Amino acid sequence: MNPSVITSNKPVLLKVRDLRVRYRVNGSQGFWPKTRQLEAVKGIGFELYEGETLGVVGESGCGKSSLAKALIGLIPSESSQLQWLGQDLTQTPLDRWGSVRRDVQMVFQDPLSSLDPRLNVFKIVSEPLRTHEPGLSADQLKAAVIDTLNKVGLEESVLYRYPHEMSGGQCQRIGIARAIILRPKVILCDEPVSALDVSIQAQIIQLLRQLQREMNLTLVFISHDLAVVKHISHRVMVMYLGKLMELGPKQMLFKQPMHPYTQALLDAVPKADPRNERHKTLSLLSGDIPSPLNPPSGCVFHTRCTRADGQCAAQAPLAQADADGHVCACWHPRVRA
């Protein structure tokens, strides 16, 4: 993919090229089991622009969470370029990511388990300030926490309650408060609403959009729910087995997907009025996603693709970007009208 093809009027906050995440997996056979490598993210490259929401979708096990954790430095990774906010971190050890950790925060999937049960709300939300602004007085610290809680829709009365005394939606609001109290530039949201009731999901999505407008936040929103991603995102990245399949503006990708995997994901979404879809030919997926320990040769999607041929099995396609910044990695992409 040629980075110069993708253009935007807004500043670039993140540049990443050829990002790879590998895990060591212990074998289970033999007296001396061999250690194997599982490559969860395989050569991902993209740019993140100020003020946008980049949605990341794909089936479970496709590497979405590993991608987010690698971007924030929670797990080791390899890349030819990893540049956050103008700072090149390609060769920087994870323990020296201090300045980036203040500007790039994360909201996790499970609201309750992401909060320390031994700490009350005040200690949880104030912890980032204690780390990055140790000179604040007790009164300043408390005022900042109360103000942040109000921003996420919580009252001062919850200040000394513990996570187990709160609902799932309240716990996720606390997680968001902890993420925004340092006024970061970027928040990575790793399936932040998947563990919540539908009505609460809508409230949290609305809250994230409101905070984005008020604080000029940039979001990376990871989800397997295409309806949620369509509602909140400006651009969408589609991943499969650690690889980038398609990346493009939301409206273009949902209306005219180029990759057969993207089309299959969209066809799998239930329609509100099936009568309008009755005569359409759907590209539904068959079978399960292959094991990342033994990925298919060539294009990793070819074992489930209706357009696959010998070339797909023999060689992996390169991600190609067009003049509109729409990226697709497929030997037989759909031609846009």
Q: Is residue 211 in a domain? A: no
In a domain, 79, yes or no: no
pLDDT tens across 291-304, in order?
A: 888 999 999 999 99
Asked whether residue 317 is assigned to any structural domain, the reply reads yes
By the 8 A CB rule, do 17 and 81 touch? yes
User: 262: closest CA among 310, 297, 305, 294?
Assistant: 305
Residue with tokens 């409230």: 203
Per-residue pLDDT tens digits for 90-121: 888 887 887 788 899 999 988 889 999 999 99
pLDDT at 337 over 80: no
Q: Does residue 332 lie within any of the structural domains?
A: yes
Q: What's the pLDDT tens digit per position in 323-335?
A: 778 999 999 998 7
Residues facing residue 56 across a β-bridge:
222, 237
**pTM passes above 0.85:** yes
DSSP string across 127-176: HHHHHH-TT--HHHHHHHHHHHHHHTT--GGGTT--GGGS-HHHHHHHHH
In a domain, 70, yes or no: no
Residue 259 lies in a domain: yes
Q: Which domain holds residue 266?
A: 248-272+282-337
Tens digits of residue pLDDT in 1-20: 333 334 467 899 999 999 99
The verdict on residue 326 lying in a domain is yes
What domain count does the chain have? 1
3-state secondary structure of 274: helix
Q: Is residue 163 part of a domain?
A: no
